[in-house]
Amino acid sequence: MEFAELIKTPRVDNVVLHRPFYPAVEGTLCLTGHHLILSSRQDNTEELWLLHSNIDAIDKRFVGPLGTIIIKCKDFRIIQLDIPGMEECLNIASSIEALSTLDSITLMYPFFYRPMFEVIEDGWHSFLPEQEFELYSSATSEWRLSYVNKEFAVCPSYPPIVIVPKAIDDEALRKVATFRHGGRFPVLSYYHKKNGMVIMRSGQPLTGTNGRRCKEDEKLINATLRAGKRGYIIDTRPLNVAQQARAKGGGFEQEAHYPQWRRIHKSIERYHILQESLIKLVEACNDQTHNMDRWLSRLEASNWLTHIKEILTTACLAAQCLDREGASILIHGTEGTDSTLQVTSLAQIILEPRSRTIQGFEALIEREWLQAGHPFQQRCAQSAYCNSKQKWESPVFLLFLDCVWQILRQFPCSFEFNENLLIMLFEHAYASQFGTFLGNNESERCKLKLQQKTMSLWSWVNRPSELSKFANPLFEANNLVIWPSVAPQSLQLWEGIFLRWNRSSKYLDEAYEEMVNIIEYNKELQAKVNILRRQLAELETEDGMQESP
Amino acid sequence: MNKDIKVENVRLVDGISSKKAALGTLYLTATHVIFVENAPDTRKETWILHSQISTIEKQATTATGCPLLVRCKNFQLLQLVIPQERDCHDVYISLLRLARPVKYEELYCFSFNPKLDREEREQGWMLIDLSEEYKRMGLPNNYWQLSDVNRDYRVCDSYPTQLYVPKSATAHIIVGSSKFRSRRRFPALSYYYKDNHVSICRSSQPLSGFSARCLEDEQMLQAIRKASPGSDFIYVVDTRPKLNAMANRAAGKGYENEDNYSNIKFQFIGIENIHVMRNSLQKMLEVCELKSPSMSDFLWGLENSGWLRHIKAIMDAGIFIAKAVSEEGASVLVHCSDGWDRTAQACSVAGLLLDPHYRTLKGFMVLIEKDWISFGHKFNHRYGNLDGDPREISPVIDQFIECVWQLMEQFPCAFEFNERFLIHIQHHIYSCQFGNFLCNSQKERQELKIQERTYSLWAHLWKNRGDYLNPLFRDDPSQTQGTLHLPTMPCNFMYKFWSGMYNRFEKGLQPRQSVTDYLMAVKEETQQLEEELEALEERLERIQKVQLNRTQVKSKQSEPSKHSGFSTSDNSTANTPQDYSGNMKSFPSRSPSQGDEDSALILTQDNLKSSDPDLSANSDQESGVEDLSCRSPSGGECVPGEDSGKDRDSDEAVFLTA
């Protein structure tokens, strides 16, 4: 297919662009296969470069011959284009609609993008599972790498390499895979070096209504327990949902078959409930007509912060079981690709200082989200302005990022990265020039040959010039566990995401700048003082040598 | 005076989220409730001033004793469990009496002695000088003069004696106008905006009823208008809801009729009355006291309290006035009913928006001194310092203080002071430890000889100003230049719940690391480095002079050794896990019945108090280390200084930085 077929009117003059907090700009609108570009042809005026894939929905309306297109982006921005000429306007609108909803992944921009920067380190090889495993292997010999899923035959949503108990062979893993939803047998998610306890994750057990059991499954997870120790199974679904799942062949670990494990049910929502929550929240944030009370009730009615509280609470509980109770845990919901990953990754943020560094956090995203098979392609297909109501669209990843932001707000000095890194990840998960978030799992990414045909997001991020934007000036390494508060008073709306386009950030930016200046100036002085001290010491020794021959 | 009471084996539960009870001895002195823990290593003391006590509630006796719930005006909440019913009753009766003094002389400020000599005390009172402030505004000038019409409080006993009025307002006009205003609070200058030569004046409501008018009052408003020759009208802002103002007409009061006054523009801004505000705060505090509320409980409760809506109304009033003055160049007369509550709020918020001086430490003290203390805000009645009518109590200045915080959140570089400064001022408005906020008017304070018998809070805060500085404060750039511009759109999401104030004693709810304290420590270190750098350069120069003719020294680039000033002590994060599990218990020692899986689940869910962190806390080195908390040079939340705040408790650990 040629993009040209979809572009009936490639350019229109005298288009006026309206954006929040900027004066209107008049210029020429150009449509390319992947971008919407507005150029004012004045050197100093900012132009609009918008990826079609960032467009969530458009509205059009006409007043006489003047058409208006309102573009609602996946990053929640709303912009308006006034286009003279009804035909031009209709053409542009239909092109945008077609180009922003391309069916084929291989037509997406990452397959066409040619980077203009020098790649220092290829991000596709930045976080190899073998390397990650090495971090553990010095501390324990109870785990091994398994290549049982090399061809993605055992579990289509798992990566080729997973970490499993040493005592369990690949044959047993194959059997366990048949007993777990989507073939997602229990694998290692996190090893807590302090006490050797672990977090594992999996899909739900397929017990069905007649209470099917699987000896290998029991053996596998028991292999992670020390003698006489018990573990916890955290099921992210409420009990009644887990019970209902039995009717569809799913289920949960029954007491009788897993006597060394205690099950705890939490209730983290999934799918369209989260999507509706996001839609309501963004609607409330964009509506500036209501009074104070309606704002609070709309914030409440969106339930967004309720989800945040529930996810964070579950992650804290998991971390607490591990660190305070000294117990290993297994976490799953139904598929083990959504709420499960929220919990396992947030627990690591709380427990593991490394995951609070930039590299460590990237590794966490790579390991616990991308390789763990969170279906980004499906979940992030649409954002807050869509009305497609597909079951698979859901802001699971955004909720995770929001939870990280909540912890960052409570521990502003314990993270190497700042809010900008989280915002950047949100943007790229929904629309990107990089291939990182394409596909739903490693198997799909392999088939798409993303490593060969697209650029990795990490290749771009991990260059010094980019990294400096994401560095938290307040960071001071903190090797302790950080326990966030999950009380409603401690949780706030993430303004950097949800009010980003609705309020001026001028004064907040100024404050950030000032903070950076204070710290930079301090470092500068430290360096100067150190040089002078050294100089002086040298002078004084020489002086001393000369004066006392 | 009561004899001191002492009760042993009392258990203290501090705060809502606290699960631990400390065993100790309770003392009641003439001024404080003191609880000393038995734990021999700490002997932690909790001191509560009687004047901070808001309510005392006797709760149903339990097996462990009789609980007393003490709520404080600074939002602290304590539960004392006293073993014997009889003792509990004694403590209850004594506290009821002690918390409600009937004479000013019983208040703490008359016995508080910070060991300053007379001269120091007098100097303290001179720190804030309103005549200096009016000079700073550019007064007197061709249009405004200092009037002695209220000498000896002859015209209005709740006004100060020193007042600025338009030059053309004769004593006859002023007195005439005062007779037409509630409590004779005639229009007088609150703020003069030099840039546009316009004024903000304040008064009480006119006694207009349905048709009354007063020539002198009309002349008075005209005089105000003429004092700003550049503008051909003035705004009259009535800060009440229109309905309230109309209701007042039936009582012979009311608001200005635009037909009777030449060239006024009349505007209502609906700030509710003190009773609505009192109930609103009450409702919000109930939300704050909820034990493990859900997000919905909290947001619903917050909304139903209406608190943030009221804060916004006050901000709106200030914004309207500031805009009128700075953008339209029009003078404004502000009033409500008596002109001492909502009027004070509106005028001081407007001042804060308009004038960078009021956003400095000293300027903020001046602002409170001017708009609140001197103009007869009834501190005694509003904050219940002496036993009085509970319907007079209302968090009027608390709301103003919150408005300042809301502004600080939006303009982080615009204020010289930090959140702690606001919290400590709020604390001392209720503490009665300093004389500044005593009584209902200047006149009463003079009669009581406050300045000779008590100390000034302003001097105390000024002495400790290092604790109150905002490290991000910028002296020059855009936001401190002149007016703070708030968006014109109704951005309701700008107004947030102030957890640092209303949950300030629930430390678990606050961010665990304070950016303010961190940056202050960095700045402090920077200052030391600057001094060291200077000294080093001097020494280097001296040595080089000596060596002038000797060998040239090649200095190698040295890798800077990490300066350890603050960095080591700071990042340990005070922190133990909270109750994330609802009501779960630890593992049951025995496996629950295995056959019935659902009953096992019920056990897991409800009885499995899995992760009560206290189980492992003692054996875990982390709980000790983590309690080091983030750096907090002045002890964060602890009440200021050497005073009432012998609240050594939790902050002590913070300093174990070695």
Q: What is the pLDDT of residues B566-590, one digit of tens each?
A: 433 334 444 677 778 654 544 333 3
- For residue range B429-483, what is the model confidence (pLDDT) as tens digits? 999 999 999 999 999 999 999 999 999 999 999 999 999 999 999 876 554 457 8
Q: Is B498 annotated as a binding residue?
A: no
Q: Which DSSP category does B210 fall into?
A: T
Residues of A in contact with B570 (CB under 8 A): 413, 476
Q: What percent of chain B has pLDDT over 70?
A: 82
Mean pLDDT of chain B: 84
Instruction: State which H helix or E strand residue B78 sits in.
Output: strand B77-82
Scanning A461-480 for CB atoms below 8 A from B yields 474, 476-478, 480
Q: Token pair 């020429």 is at which residue? A: A28
Selected for mutation to probe chain B from A192, A500, A507, A543 (highest B CB count within 10 Å) is A507
Q: Is A229 on the interface with B (CB under 8 A)?
A: no
Rounded Cα distance, A136 and A154, in Å: 25
Interface touch A535/B299, C-beta < 8 Å: no
What is the side-by-side strand order in the sheet with A261-265?
A: A187-192, A197-201, A329-332, A231-235, A261-265
Assess whether pLDDT exceeds 50 at residue B277. Answer: yes
At B409, list the tokens. 């959140």
Give the 3-state secondary structure of residue B84: coil
Instruction: State which H helix or E strand residue B459 sits in.
Output: helix B457-463
* Contact (Cβ atoms closer than 8 angstroms) between residue B95 and residue B70: yes
Q: Is A247 on the interface with B (CB under 8 A)?
A: no
Interface touch A320/B610, C-beta < 8 Å: yes
In chain B, the residue whose alpha carbon lies closest to the alpha carbon of A475 is B571
User: What's the pLDDT at B41?
Assistant: 83
User: What's the pLDDT at A536?
Assistant: 87
Q: How many CB atoms lie within 10 A of CB A84?
A: 15
User: What's the pLDDT at B456?
Assistant: 97
Selected for mutation to probe chain B from A194, A283, A406, A522 (highest B CB count within 10 Å) is A522
* Residue-by-residue DSSP string for B471-504: TT--SSSTTTSS-----SS--GGG----HHHHTT
In chain B, the residue whose alpha carbon lies closest to the alpha carbon of A488 is B295
In chain B, the residue whose alpha carbon lies closest to the alpha carbon of A296 is B303
Residues of B in contact with A519 (CB under 8 A): 519, 522
User: What's the pLDDT at B489?
Assistant: 58
Rounded Cα distance, B451 and B497, in Å: 37
Interface touch A539/B543, C-beta < 8 Å: yes
Q: Amino acid identity of A404?
A: V
User: What's the pLDDT at B649?
Assistant: 32
CA of B378 vs chain A CAs: smallest distance (Å): 29
Instruction: State which H helix or E strand residue B26 sits in.
Output: strand B22-28
Assess whether pLDDT exceeds 90 at residue B550. Answer: no
Q: Token pair 């790649």 is at which residue? A: A119
Interface touch A480/B573, C-beta < 8 Å: yes
Interface touch A480/B308, C-beta < 8 Å: no
- Three-state SS sequence of A409-455: HHCCCCCCECHHHHHHHHHHHHCCCCCCCCCCCHHHHHHCCHHHHCC
* Residue-by-residue DSSP string for A487-542: SGGG----HHHHSTTTS--HHHHHHHHHHHHHHHHHHHHHHHHHHHHHHHHHHHHH
User: What's the pLDDT at B152?
Assistant: 95
Q: Provide the pairing of β-strand B66-72 with B53-58.
A: antiparallel
Interface touch A535/B567, C-beta < 8 Å: no
**pTM listed for this prediction:** 0.90
In chain B, the residue whose alpha carbon lies closest to the alpha carbon of A314 is B580
Interface touch A538/B553, C-beta < 8 Å: yes
**Nearest CB to B537: which of A293, A314, A532?**
A532
Q: What is the ipTM of this complex?
A: 0.94
Selected for mutation to probe chain A from B304, B558, B602 (highest A CB count within 10 Å) is B558
**Nearest CB to B561: which of A308, A503, A530?**
A530
Assess whether pLDDT exceeds 60 at residue B613. Answer: no
Instruction: Mean pLDDT check: name the lowest of A123-137, B309-323, B339-353, B514-528.
Output: A123-137
Residues of A in contact with B577 (CB under 8 A): 316, 319-320, 323-324, 483
C-alpha dihedral sign at B304, B307, B311, B313: positive
Interface touch A239/B299, C-beta < 8 Å: no
B413 an active-site residue?
no
Region B100-108: what's the mean pLDDT?
Answer: 93
User: What's the pLDDT at B626?
Assistant: 31
Interface touch B573/A482, C-beta < 8 Å: yes
Q: Give chain A's residues under pLDDT 50.
A: 549
User: What's the pLDDT at A546?
Assistant: 59
Assess whether pLDDT exceeds 70 at residue B620. Answer: no
In chain B, the residue whose alpha carbon lies closest to the alpha carbon of A513 is B472
Rounded Cα distance, B211 and A152, in Å: 89
User: What's the pLDDT at B557?
Assistant: 40
**Nearest CB to A527: which of B508, B560, B571?**
B560
Q: How many CB pairs under 8 A join A and B?
A: 287
Burial of A451 (0-12, 13-18, 19+ CB in 10 A): middle
Rounded Cα distance, B393 and B341, in Å: 12
Interface touch B533/A528, C-beta < 8 Å: yes
User: What's the pLDDT at B630?
Assistant: 33
CA of A2 vs chain B CAs: smallest distance (Å): 45
Q: Provide the pairing of β-strand B53-58 with B5-14.
A: unpaired
In chain A, the residue whose alpha carbon lies closest to the alpha carbon of B597 is A255
At B556, list the tokens. 């190698």
Q: Is A492 on the interface with B (CB under 8 A)?
A: yes
Q: Is B278 annotated as a binding residue?
A: no
* Contact (Cβ atoms closer than 8 angstroms) between residue B257 and residue B213: yes
User: What's the pLDDT at B544?
Assistant: 80
Region B91-105: what's the mean pLDDT?
Answer: 93
Confidence of residue B88 (pLDDT cuts 50, 70, 90): very high
Which residues neighbour B34 within 8 Å (Cβ) at sequence distance 6 or greater?
A: B26, B27, B28, B45, B46, B47, B48, B646
Residues of B in contact with A265 (CB under 8 A): 601, 604-605
Interface touch B604/A265, C-beta < 8 Å: yes
Q: Which DSSP category does B516 fall into?
A: H
Q: Is B340 annotated as a binding residue?
A: yes
Q: Is A175 on the interface with B (CB under 8 A)?
A: no
Buried b (16+ CB within 10 A) or exposed e, B169-188: bbeebbbbbbebbbbbbbbb
Region B57-77: what's the mean pLDDT?
Answer: 93
Assess whether pLDDT exceeds 60 at residue B627. Answer: no
- For residue range A212-246, what is the model confidence (pLDDT) as tens digits? 999 999 999 999 998 888 999 999 999 999 999 99
At A119, list the tokens. 């790649």
Of B207, B443, B404, B200, the closest CA to residue B322 belongs to B200
- Which one from B336, B347, B439, B630 is the annotated catalytic residue? B336
Region B527-547: what's the mean pLDDT?
Answer: 89
